[in-house]
Structure 1
Amino acid sequence: MDETEKKLIREYFESVAKLQDQNIVRSDKVLGDLGEWLCVKKFGLVLEESGRHPGYDGKINGEKVQVKVHNSPERTNLSVGDPEKYDHLIVLIGPRSKLRIGSRDEAFHAYCFTSAEVKNTMARDSGYYCAKGTLEAKSHKSIDYKA
């Protein structure tokens, strides 16, 4: 490992520690926690106390909300959980995501679905999945994260 690689790894762990100190990241699921925190700020999501709450992550106006984040430049599907266990799904598409539609700016694209929409548009034999085609039919809200 060269010095540049060591520095980048050290900076990553220092950044995660700072995010944890600010309660932005609550567990070892850094990207998922970041996505949930963005939904707290953008949509008023009230997170469940446990970061491992079964079926949904928090509530907005008393309704159960599941948050899923995708930022993989390679994978093309995102498992969105069981829509029987939540009322709404928020899918956050990161700037590197292969599912991303449009520009690769410094913002997450937030797509909101009802559980009925998930059942009707994302059902697959192996479970429920969100794919790029599902997102193309929906508008999104941008969540800018640059300073």
Structure 2
Amino acid sequence: MNSRQRAALKDFARAVNTLREAGVIRSHRYLGDIAEFLCAGMFGIDLATNLRQAGHDGLRGEVRAQVKYGGGKKTNVDLGNPDAYDEIYVVLGQESVVRAPAYEGDFLVYILTADEARALKTPGGSYSCGASYFEREPHRVIWIETYAN
């Protein structure tokens, strides 16, 4: 490991600790936790305190809400089991290969109902969507510099 790599790892560890202390991340799934934090503030989702709760991440009133982060090189976003939630929020980061280049912002948020997710059932029986689904306009664009909840 060279000195640049060592410094980057130290910076990352400090950033993780800072995000945890600020209540942004709650587990080792950093990007998913950040997506949940952003959606909780923006859409009024009360995140579950049980991090192992199956099927949905929290409630928006009586509505069971699931949040998924789609980023990196994955060519699709797994939508989980739509029988376990009423709506799902898909958050795409800047590095997501399924993100349409026409839209700027740090994060794009797409909202689907459980019925919309069911319509995206794959031949293998799971539920997911790829880049063509995200060519449409996002429901919300999040810019970190101006984000306020």
| Alignment correspondent of 1:124 | 122
Matched, 1:88 2:87: yes
Structure 1 runs of 4+ aligned residues shifted over 3 Å read 103-106
Q: How many residue pairs are counted as aligned between the two chains? A: 145
2-side partners of 1:3 and 1:20: how far apart?
A: 26
Check 1:137–1:103 CA distance in 2 against 1; reply closer, same or farther (3 A cut). Answer: closer
Larger CA deviation: 83-92 vs 125-134: 125-134
Q: TM-score, normalized by length of structure 2?
A: 0.91
TM-score (normalizing by structure 1): 0.92
Partner SS state of residue 15, structure 2: helix
Cα-Cα RMSD: 1.5
The aligned counterpart of 1:145 is 144
- Counterpart of 2:69 in 1: which secondary structure? strand
Unpaired runs of at least 5, structure 1: none
- How does 1:35-114 map onto structure 2 within 5 Å? 35-72=35-72, 74-103=73-102, 105-114=104-113
* Structure 2 unmatched runs, 5+: none
Quote the Cα distance in structure 2 between the aligned partners of 1:102 and 1:60: 30
